[in-house]
Each structure stands twice: as C-alpha cells, then as structure tokens.
Amino acid sequence: MRLIYLSMTIFLFTNCQSLNKKIDSLRNQIVQIISDKQAIVGVSIIGTNDKDTVSINGDKRFPMQSVFKFHIALAVLAEIDKGNLFLDKIIEIKKEDLLPEDFWSPLRDENPNGGSFTIEKLIQYSVSHSDNTACDVLIRLVGTPKTVEAYIKKSGINDIEITFNEEEMQANWENMFKNWTTPKAASETLKKFYENKNNLLSERSYDFFWKTNKETTTGANRIKGQLPEETVVAHKTGWSGTNKKTGVTAAVNNIGIVFIPDGEYFIISVFVSESKENFDTNEKIIADVAKAAYDYYTTLSK
C-alpha cells in the first residue's frame, strides 16, 4: 500500500513539474512578445479547471475604456433577474439623448432622430457593437457608474473602479484612469460569470449575455486576429484613442473567453497602456499573446 502511495506521489509530482515547465514556456513566449514594445502590457490567462495560469502585470491598474460595457450589461441583467427591469421593456431615446458625432455610436448613425429600443437591443448595441449612446442609457437605467461598480464588487470582484459614463469619460483625458481594473480581476470576472456557480445570472440572462459577447464585431485583429477563422470567442474590447499632445495611447484592450476544439476554453485579458506604438502594433500585441495561448492550450489538450 505504501509503495502504491509513493508511486502515485512521484507520478503527481513529475506531472506537476511537467505542467509547470510548459506554462513557464508560455509565459516566456509572452514576455518575448512584449519585451521590445514601447508600452506597458498586462496579461492574465486562466486555463480550464484552473490547471495553469499566467499573469504579467496582473495586479496593475489599467484604464478599461469600453471594456466596462461588459460590466454594465451584467448590472442591467441583474436588475432584470430581480424583476425590476425586463429585456423587452421599451426605452425611448430622444434626439437630444444621442451622443455627438465624435462618439462611436452605430445606434445614433442608424437612428439620427432617436427612437424606441428594447433593453435587449440596447445591450446588444452596447456590448456587441460597443455603442456609447446605448452604454450611457443603460447606466441611467440602473443608477450611476458607481451603481455598476457596487454590483461587480458585491459579486466578489474588488479590483475595479467605475466613476464615469462614456460621455464624462471622454470629456477629459484623465477621466479614463478613474475607470480601471486589473488583468487578474478582468479574468476573474469572466470566470465567475461564465461558470455562474452562485447563480449570479438566471439561465435566460446567462444565455443571452454570452451569446451577445460571442457576437462582438469590434476588435477583429485583437484576440481573434490570428486564431483559426472558426474559433468562437466571447469578448469585449476597449480603446482610448491617442493623445495628440504626447502621442501616447492609454488603452487598447481585449478580454474574453476562447473556446478551443476539444470543448474546453481558456480565459484571457490583455491590456496595452502607455503605448508609443501605432494602433496596428498595439492590436498585434494582443493577437500574438492570444495565439501563443491558443497554441499552448490546444497542444496541451492532445
């Protein structure tokens, strides 16, 4: 019996060492990807069943930009699950409620005089298409940006601050830094709401939310950029633009869940900040990191 126990211990120790070496190789590859870039890059990756993780600048605060629309949608769906709101509730948006033309808003472009929209449609606009008008309307439905922050913290995620809506955030360059999270917290948020162990979302809200994230149209050259075309990714993007005075880009972000061929998945959050690289390079950083992770996890599953 003792011999069997000893053999099992040696096997587990050897297997653990092998996994550690493999995950170290992924980490080293990511470090190599970002080492020559004029940017601060934060990475958090969680493998299926927590069997391995990677974190680089994982506890550093990064401006979220539109990544916070992911959290806003969750707060709205929580109110729907309580019966305080309904997906099919009609919301009237007047012309004066539309954000100006320098704000990204497909909703405004398609409806220049405003219109009537279900909450379901507003969430789709905000998450799948990163619409700023829809985002700020959704925040008002639940209260304020701090209402969203409080909900996420109540769900068990502490490293996050949401102070401004889109209109306020873009009014001043410094405001975006008051809407921050860490790569680790972003990945933990994805994990917590995807696993849904504590029934944070009802079945209907869960299915709708993740379907909406899988339909995201922005950031095609980020997490999804170098993955096989058929790869399903549920994700949310964010971007700050570039400061004209300094030439610095404060945020090119992408967080998401990548579903791999064996039915498993991995969680990935990449934040590129304080970058002096051009936009294409910033997106490629994210794509390179995601491809390295994809190759690692698909090889691991064989």
Residues annotated as catalytic are 66, 166
Q: Do you know the residue count of the chain?
A: 302
CA 289 from chain center: how many Å?
15
57: Cβ contacts below 8 Å, ≥ 6 apart = 40, 41, 42, 43, 183
Q: DSSP letters along 129-144, please?
A: S--HHHHHHHHHHH--
Read off φ and ψ for residue 50, nearest 5 degrees.
55, 25
Beta bridge partners of 235: 256
Tell me the Ramachandran region of residue 181: left when phi exceeds 0, alpha when psi lies from -120 to 50, beta otherwise. Answer: beta
How far apart CA 27 and CA 47 sit, in angstroms, is 13
Q: Is 270 exposed, middle or buried (0-12, 13-18, 19+ CB in 10 A)?
A: buried
